[in-house]
Structure 1
Amino acid sequence: MSEVSSLRRSRGGSRAAARQMQWQSPVLRGALALTLNSAASAALGLLFWTLAARMLPVEQVGLGMATVATITTVSNLGQLNLYLTAGVMLSGSRRPRRLVLELSGLATAATLLIGTGAAVFWAVTGVGGELVTGGPLFVLCAVGWTLFALKDGLLVGLRGFAAVPALNTIYGLLKIGALVLMATSLDGRSLVTATFAPVLIILPLAAWLMFRRTQGMESAATSSSGLDRRFIGVDFVGSVCQQISTTLLPFLILVWSGAHAAGIFAVVWLLVVMLDTLAENAGVPLASEAAREPHQTRHLTGMISKPAFGLVLAVVVATLVFADMGLNFYGTVYAADGALALRIMALASLARCYSVLTLAVVRAERRATIASAIEAVHLVVLFGGAAALVPVHGVTGMALAWFVAQLITAAACWLARPKGRR
């Protein structure tokens, strides 16, 4: 009996040791850090928009959210999808500091070009007349947001995981503070100012942390990987499709259904984006670590997929049950007009989680053409469905188009998945 007990203890100890080693893996530590980041950002973001919804008319919330979403769309296009792929290029680089500067400069130049083009186009055509911020200030906000968002991907690629939630928590607190300070003259423009002004404080801190992380890394690097322009260029095509089909949706609602529907969708979209971020938290470190250790890709994918799907499923179930209660915090009109749309879009997050993880592996293997093709499928299906449904069904129509697009995109990811991978 004593031998049997010893054997059981030994097996139990081995399993415990294996679990401990697994949770020490960079891919899980990165996912955990980004999940904590999302939790803190979600809580602070919810507080920010709850205050805004309570203090402003629905129409002003819609105008402010549409402007913020349009600025972030331009910014995300200018990032060239480097938030997801910076870790792939930083893995094993012999000159990480130089590569960080090159990636930041490339993203800044791209954002300046895209933002200036958008500002000029709207000035000539009047298409962006609904937005509360334009001209040089619009471009400046987009550039600042590009560098702010890119810092997370760079820090993950440098394995500076703990800095990501710390910096974004500081940002969230500063954003709420700015909103409170402007309470006496609050409108849609104030929401834009409160969203982007704190970036000026966070960026110097991020630059200092990245400088510290790159010290001593050059001698420890194992390869000479650097700025892969072809990979960035091909993947950028997919990034354009992905960004247009996500962050531009509040603007489309504003154009097709008016300011009231845009205000309702602003809150629904905010909650759905927070939910989808849970999957992205797993995808970013997965792409980075799978590129760093390609022979471990299948093991890393299996390690991260179970907790990622479990977490997303738990939040989806909670959203389905408590959608009305959650939206009531913003006001009864949000619950009445947005609860069904929130439930539909939350269900779609399960399919989106699978797509995000599959595309992370595809990008780690530098199969950028496949990733871009899948993102193009998502864009075509979503916009086709939205054009047909939103003018008739408003916010619910956009939710239905989003749901169908996620199902078809997940099917495309399943067909394109690496051979031998689940």
Structure 2
Amino acid sequence: MPSIDGQHRSRPSAPPEPSAARPRISNMEIDSGSLMLASVVNGLLGLVFWAAAARLYPTEEIGRATTVINAAVMIGTISNLSLGPLYERFLPQSGERGGALIVKGHLVTALIAIILSGAFLVFGPTEHLFTDTLQMALFPLCSVVLGAFALDDSILVGLRLGRWAAAKNIFHATAKLVAIVALSHSVDSTLIVSGWVVPAAIAVCVIQCAIFFRGGFLRHHRSLPDRMPSHGSLLKDFGSLYGMVIINSLAPFLLPLLVVSTLGVTEAAYFAMSWTMISAVTLVMAMISGPFVAEAAANPEDLRDLLLRQLRLLAAVALAGFVFLAFIAPFALSLVGTEYADHGAALLRSMAVVQILSIPGFVFGGLARVYRRLGYALALQITIALAVVVSAWLMLPHFGISSVGYAYVGVEFLMILGVALPLRRMVTDAMHTPSPHPHVTIGNR
């Protein structure tokens, strides 16, 4: 069977003798566990953040601020092109070229973020979101910062240091909560946005210093062999992954805009409060894929063991996410305000079901990136994203913000049908990958 790089590989050297006293834990599990813990902490602190905002700021200002932040995050995500997934897949194989790839990626995405932010200011619902010229002028900078903040997660995962991405995200969640309370002397939505963006900017600066300073994160990475694929092969993956990044960003970008334009800023605030908890749970699921892909790229001979571990993690997280969204989150939302719970409970419970239904899609997405079989995955993502946006848009006037949850439940059934056959083939291939050292700790350094 060809390697997961699509190229012939030399026979791996003999593995070291296993240590009986060493616990069997992989670098993937350490990074995945750290990232999942960070997502849980972010979700809890995110709820506290918006709960504090609900107590300290008018509902209209919350709706305006959440929509601006969401727009900046999504623009930053789109501006990252497909570099996040590319870093996770190929940075483990880049050797001494890794540093240059990181710098070029940040420069290119910053430029694109500025261009897209300008387009948003021209064509977006600016009359609903910004109250003065200064807010509009600072919006591109917010997009650049939040884009770099998100890209650093994938860079650290690609360096197989996802635990540092977890620390970065926990710092941001804590600092923005402190900031929003400290700035509560004003009721302007600008301060809510600033409390979110300024800590992100600090985190980005710290991470870049940690990567590039002498003796930093790149020190070990530069000594690894350069096993990057050819430019033509890489460009093909880039095109597919970029399309997937844009499509995956489509629904999260458009849904809050549809809510605010169809139902108003008050309903947008109710939606944002529920969506904060939903996004946190969904992010926990997504966080498992990055370390899996990076570790499989670094150790392709261990794919079978890595897949089994990923499946266990996904099942456990999906079940925990279901319990949280179905039972705990509605109660937590009632502590913020009864009106938030009344409007958001149905959305939360619908998205609880989605966590279970999404397991096949996450497994398929991870294996498609490992095996670099991305064409069908891109076509399927386009279909799914369009189905979510269109169905939610049609239902919003009739069912309110609950329409988003109903749309996702229906579309996840389509996803399961769409991935069934190719997922079976890839899982079969992965399960027949022999592990040359089944009792040795994988990927620990």
TM-score relative to the length of structure 1: 0.89
Identity fraction in percent: 24
Q: Secondary structure at the match of 1:120?
A: helix
Q: Is the 8 A contact 2:46 2:277 kept in 1?
A: no
Q: Secondary structure at the match of 1:221?
A: coil
More helix by percentage:
1
Q: Does 1:217 align with 2:221?
A: yes
Displacement, 1:354? Answer: 2.9
Displacement, 1:226? Answer: 8.1
The aligned residue for residue 130 of structure 2 is 132
The aligned residue for residue 118 of structure 1 is 120
Displacement, 1:297? Answer: 2.6
Alignment match of 1:374 (pick from 370, 373, 380): 380
Structure 1 pair 103–367 and aligned structure 2 pair: CA distance change class (3 A): farther
Structure 1 pair 372–87 and aligned structure 2 pair: CA distance change class (3 A): same
Higher relative contact order (Cα pairs below 8 Å, separated by 6+ residues): 2
**Cα-to-partner distance string for 1:202-259 (whole Å, 9 max, x where unaligned):** 1121002222111242222252458733322221112111101124321211011112
Number of paired residues?
402
Residue type at the aligned position of 2:99: R
Mapped to 1, the partners of 2:179 and 2:392 lie a distance apart of: 35
Mapped to 2, the partners of 1:386 and 1:18 lie a distance apart of: 54
Structure 1 pair 291–64 and aligned structure 2 pair: CA distance change class (3 A): same
**Cα-to-partner distance string for 1:74-103 (whole Å, 9 max, x where unaligned):** 111111233333111202212211121122
In the alignment, structure 2 segments of 5+ residues that lack a partner are: 1-18, 429-445
Q: Does 1:230 align with 2:236?
A: yes
**Cα-to-partner distance string for 1:171-195 (whole Å, 9 max, x where unaligned):** 2222122211211102322211111
Within a 5 Å distance, the mapping from 1:23-34 to structure 2 comes to: 23=25, 25-34=26-35
Residue type at the aligned position of 2:68: T
Displacement, 1:306? Answer: 1.1
Q: Larger deviation: 135-144 or 406-415?
A: 406-415
Q: Larger deviation: 176-185 or 98-107?
A: 98-107
Within a 5 Å distance, the mapping from 1:264-303 to structure 2 comes to: 264-303=270-309
Q: Is the 8 A contact 1:85 1:363 kept in 2?
A: no
Q: Secondary structure at the match of 1:215?
A: helix
Q: Is the 8 A contact 1:69 1:248 kept in 2?
A: no
Residue type at the aligned position of 2:237: F
Q: Does 1:93 align with 2:72?
A: no
In the alignment, structure 1 segments of 5+ residues that lack a partner are: 1-15
**Cα-to-partner distance string for 1:299-356 (whole Å, 9 max, x where unaligned):** 3111111122112212312332234311112111011121111101121122223312
Displacement, 1:19? Answer: 9.4
The aligned residue for residue 5 of structure 2 is none
Structure 1 pair 17–226 and aligned structure 2 pair: CA distance change class (3 A): farther
Structure 1 pair 146–242 and aligned structure 2 pair: CA distance change class (3 A): same
Q: Does 1:49 align with 2:68?
A: no
The aligned residue for residue 325 of structure 2 is 319
Mapped to 2, the partners of 1:153 and 1:371 lie a distance apart of: 20
Structure 1 pair 17–83 and aligned structure 2 pair: CA distance change class (3 A): farther
The aligned residue for residue 394 of structure 1 is 400
Mapped to 1, the partners of 2:352 and 2:250 lie a distance apart of: 20
Structure 1 pair 387–289 and aligned structure 2 pair: CA distance change class (3 A): same
Displacement, 1:420? Answer: 4.6
Q: Is the 8 A contact 1:77 1:239 kept in 2?
A: yes
User: What is the root-mean-square deviation in Å for CA atoms of aligned residues?
Assistant: 2.3
Residue type at the aligned position of 2:109: A
Displacement, 1:395? Answer: 0.8
Mapped to 1, the partners of 2:93 and 2:403 lie a distance apart of: 46
Alignment match of 1:105 (pick from 86, 93, 107): 107
The aligned residue for residue 38 of structure 1 is 39
Mapped to 2, the partners of 1:233 and 1:44 lie a distance apart of: 36
Displacement, 1:360? Answer: 1.6
Structure 1 pair 344–216 and aligned structure 2 pair: CA distance change class (3 A): closer
Structure 1 pair 136–367 and aligned structure 2 pair: CA distance change class (3 A): farther
Mapped to 2, the partners of 1:120 and 1:82 lie a distance apart of: 27
Mapped to 2, the partners of 1:394 and 1:109 lie a distance apart of: 37
Structure 1 pair 318–36 and aligned structure 2 pair: CA distance change class (3 A): closer
Q: Is the 8 A contact 2:325 2:351 kept in 1?
A: no
